[in-house]
Amino acid sequence: MEQLAEFDVAVIGAGHAGIEAAIASARRGCKTALFTISLDQIGNMPCNPSIGGSAKGHLVREIDALGGVMGEAGDACCIQMRMLNLSKGVSVHSPRAQEDRSAYHLYMKKKCEDTPNLFIIQNEVVDICMDENNCVTGIRTRHGGLFFCKAAVICSGTFLNGMVYIGKTGEQSGPDSCLPARYLSENLAKHKIELRRFKTGTPCRVHRRSIDFTKLQPQYGDPDPQPFSFLAERGSVRNDAVCYIANTNPQTHQIIRENLGESPLYSGVIHGVGPRYCPSIEDKVTRFSERERHQIFVEPTGLHTDEMYLQGFSTSLPEFVQIKMMRSVAGFEQIEIMRPAYAIEYDCINPNCLLHTLAFRGFHGLYAAGQFNGTSGYEEAAAQGLIAGINASAYALGEEELSLSRKSSYIGTLIDDLVTKGTQDPYRMMTARSEYRLSLRHSNADARLTGIGRQYRLISDERWAQFTAKTQRIEHAIETLKNTTVQPDAVAEYLEQIGTTPLKQGLKLDALLRRPQVQLHDITKILSLDLDLRGEEAAEVSCRIKYEQYIARQDQQNAHFEHLEHIRLPKEIDYLAVHGLSSEAVEKLGNVRPENLAHAARISGISPADISILMTYLKAGGYHD
């Protein structure tokens, strides 16, 4: 076997996780290799041609704030942008973009090519080499190549032992007819890494000319779209594509029910666990039989193609059923399928074998991110990729690694959920998963994370200067509102107009603004108050004030855990030797090996008494003060 090259970090897979991992690692000064089975699949979107969406949009903004690339690419290749949930509270506003899928791939490929220190290599990785102490020493490729590296990041997506099913025919394949990764699994098993099977599915792609759009309801982008990146100007993204909504009907459902026997999911051919949030159309029809229709979103996959994606219509029924059920939908009578829908089954891990840094417990220099960790979605993958890339490079450089708290971000929440609880089905981010929802807004992702990105050398001087200036303007405006008193007369007319009670005496502006009906831009106009705010800053100031008391209460509610967060559990702790722990606690703590007491407290089956005993034990051992 021949050594071909030497790297600091090797990233296996160039999907959304791998790209972030590789670029972050290279930018932080590590010589980084990015391995992919096909150069033509870098940053591919084998499922929906979109980035963002509820809670996922938050993740993209956080990735951007930390210095990742998904936000910038999403803006550059956007063809339609919308802010979702605008009619609801600000904490659930979330940006979503329709993407030009080919443009996105090319953008990401060029981005990687342009990154100094980053080397893209088309080759199938089959093994990770380790020494007797489980330290990563290199990786081996399919044709006997050996590459030395100090750290490796596995981002294998759905490629690992991929099996694609259309109807009952299954064949070894990666997504979009790519070659699957056929050898890495067995070698991971040799390293005692336990694998399991998950599955996911994607709907068919159809030809634009075969749809009667007059029967569908159009959906346009926002008039003044908000981009993902904090560096982009409002309105600067392309936004002219139109999406459409179609609906299934009882006849469609009847066809599906009659043909359930043809589905590999219902006939037991596929054993992998599918995502609960993204049920196939046969699941929807079976589980929600009372519903007379389900929506189908018809989305363009790019500017230079007529392929249309049908969101909400994923299925693994055979092609003849697919065409039959689709033609029962109003507007789809003449539908032409270009790529049939399929289900894909793949190997992944239960992520509770990872640390918060996304390193494997019991190994040195081995990291994992993305669907391989049991998640689903490009955004969830990219978020983990960024953290894994930062940490693999930190490990290679001998620097301190990063683990984000639940309070800091959805990324921190995502990773904590994964490593603490593991996951039973492909994990999708939702805002309901965070106990800090009110403080984790897409709009303040920069305030929460840019400082951390800066600390890890992913934020340029220019961007840092821009960020600090913005922060100062916001803080100053809030200060001004808290210190300015408004007299009853000045706003009497306005308050009457919006139907809220008049003031009896002078009131500080922040208190006035806390009234649900009162708007910041109205107040500044009436009082001729110049707060010197730009772009989104006024909205941010307004919601920080309006939500202040609620956020304070939420923080207070969660304060107990934060205190425990700071009490670290040493790696070498022998739980059997901790006097007084229940046997269930000894077993669970031994398996998960939590990093701190808050982490331990979140493990199911660990009681407050166990935490008390651990606290006493640590103190007795002199581990913390």
What is the β-pairing status of strands 196-202 and 295-300?
Answer: unpaired
Asked if 268 is part of the footprint of another protein (rule: CB under 8 A), the reply reads: no
Least distance from another protein to the Cβ atom of residue 211, Å: 19
* Per CB under 8 A, 284 contacts another protein: yes
264 scored as a contact of another protein (CB under 8 A): no
State which of residues 431, 444, 450, 542 lies at the interface with another protein (CB under 8 A): 431
Q: Is residue 94 at the binding interface for another protein, with CB under 8 A as the rule?
A: yes
Q: What is the Cα–Cα distance from 33 to 44, expressed in whole angstroms?
A: 18
495, 443, 503: which is closest to 470 by C-alpha?
Answer: 443
Tokens of 307: 């392929």
Pick from 304, 462, 579, 583: which binds another protein (CB under 8 A)?
579
The reply on whether position 223 binds another protein by CB under 8 A is: no
Any idea what DSSP says for residue 570?
A: P
Pick between residue 466 and residue 558 the one whose CB is nearest to another protein: 558
Q: What stretches of 417-571 adopt beta strand conformation (E)?
A: 485-486, 507-508
The smaller minimum CB distance to another protein, of residues 525 and 553, is found at 553
| CB of residue 426 to another protein, shortest distance in Å | 12
Choosing from 39, 242, 613, 623, the residue that interacts with another protein (CB under 8 A) is 613
Residue of the chain from 251, 295, 455, 472 that contacts another protein (CB under 8 A):
295
Nearest approach, Cβ of residue 424 and another protein (Å): 10
In the bound complex, what is the minimum distance in angstroms from residue 371's beta carbon to another protein? Answer: 16
Pick from 435, 522, 536, 587 the residue near another protein by CB under 8 A. 435
Determine, following the binding rule CB under 8 A, whether residue 432 of this chain makes contact with another protein: yes
Residue 438 found at the interface with another protein (CB under 8 A): yes
DSSP state of 181: B
**Where in 46-195 does DSSP place strands (E)?**
50-52, 78-84, 94-99, 118-122, 125-130, 136-141, 145-148, 151-154, 163-166, 169-172
Handedness of CA 570, 571, 577, 580 (dihedral sign): positive
Backbone angles phi, psi at 348, to 5 degrees: -155, 175
Report how far residue 330's alpha carbon sits from residue 313's, in angstroms, rounded to the nearest whole number.
14
* Binder of another protein out of 412, 547, 592, 597 (CB under 8 A): 547
Residue with tokens 């700071």: 566
Q: Which lies closer to another protein via its Cβ, residue 311 or residue 443?
A: 311
Residue-by-residue DSSP string for 220-275: ---SSPPPSSTTSPTT-S-----EEEEE--HHHHHHHHHTGGG-TTTTTS--SBPP
**Which window, 97-105, 340-348, 483-491, 605-613, contacts another protein (CB under 8 A)?**
605-613
177 binds another protein (CB under 8 A): no
Q: For another protein, which residue of 145, 201, 302, 312 counts as binding (CB under 8 A)?
A: 312
Q: Which is nearer to another protein, 50 or 141 (CB)?
A: 50
Q: What span, in angstroms and rounded, lies between the C-alpha atoms of 226 and 236?
A: 8
The C-alpha atoms of residue 468 and residue 466 are separated, in whole angstroms, by 6
Selected binder of another protein within 88, 521, 534, 566 (CB under 8 A): 88
Verify binding: residue 550, another protein, rule CB under 8 A. Answer: yes
Alpha-carbon Rg for the chain, nearest whole angstrom, is 26
91 binds another protein (CB under 8 A): yes
The nearer residue to another protein, 169 or 612, going by C-beta atoms, is 612
Q: 28, 109, 253, 437: which one contacts another protein (CB under 8 A)?
A: 437
**SS3 at position 147:** strand
Which of 190, 257, 287, 534 is in the footprint of another protein by CB under 8 A? 287
H/E run at residue 198? strand 196-202
Q: Which strands sit side by side in the sheet containing 307-311, from one edge to the other?
A: 217-219, 243-247, 295-300, 307-311, 205-207, 337-339
Reduce the DSSP state of residue 282 to 3 states and report it. helix
The amino acid occupying position 426 is: P
Region binding another protein by CB under 8 A among candidate stretches 279-287, 350-358, 446-454, 526-534: 279-287
Q: Are strands 136-141 and 217-219 parallel, antiparallel or unpaired?
A: unpaired
**Residue 359 burial (CB count, 10 A):** 22
Angle formed at CA 399 by CA 395 and CA 404, multiple of 5 degrees? 85
| Contact range with another protein by CB under 8 A, out of 13-21, 99-107, 465-473, 615-623 | 615-623
> What is the SS3 assignment for 308?
strand
Q: What is the closest distance, in whole angstroms, from the C-beta atom of residue 242 to another protein in the complex?
A: 16
When binding is defined by CB under 8 A, the residue of 260, 323, 430, 531 that contacts another protein is: 430
Q: What burial letters (b/e) apply to 167-180, b meaning 16+ CB within 10 Å? A: beebeebbbbebeb
Kindly state whether residue 249 participates in binding another protein, applying the rule CB under 8 A: no
Between 276 and 525, CB nearer to another protein: 276
Cβ proximity of 281 and 248 under 8 Å? yes
Nearer residue to another protein within complex by CB, 89 or 451: 89
What string of DSSP letters covers 161-178? Answer: T-EEEETTEEEE--GGGP
**Considering beta carbons, is residue 98 or 357 the nearer one to another protein?**
98
Tokens encoding 419: 């490593």
| Nearest approach, Cβ of residue 532 and another protein (Å) | 27
Nearer to another protein, 187 or 596 (CB): 596
Place of tokens 């000045």: 490
Decide whether 437 or 463 has the Cβ nearer to another protein. 437
Cβ-based nearer residue to another protein, 377 or 385 = 377
Only one residue has tokens 């594509």, namely 241
Task: State the residues that interact with another protein by CB under 8 A.
Answer: 48, 53-55, 84-85, 88-92, 94, 96, 276-279, 284, 287-288, 291, 294-295, 297, 311-312, 421, 430-433, 435, 437-438, 516-517, 547, 550, 553-554, 557, 560, 563, 578-580, 604, 607-609, 612-613, 615-617, 619-620
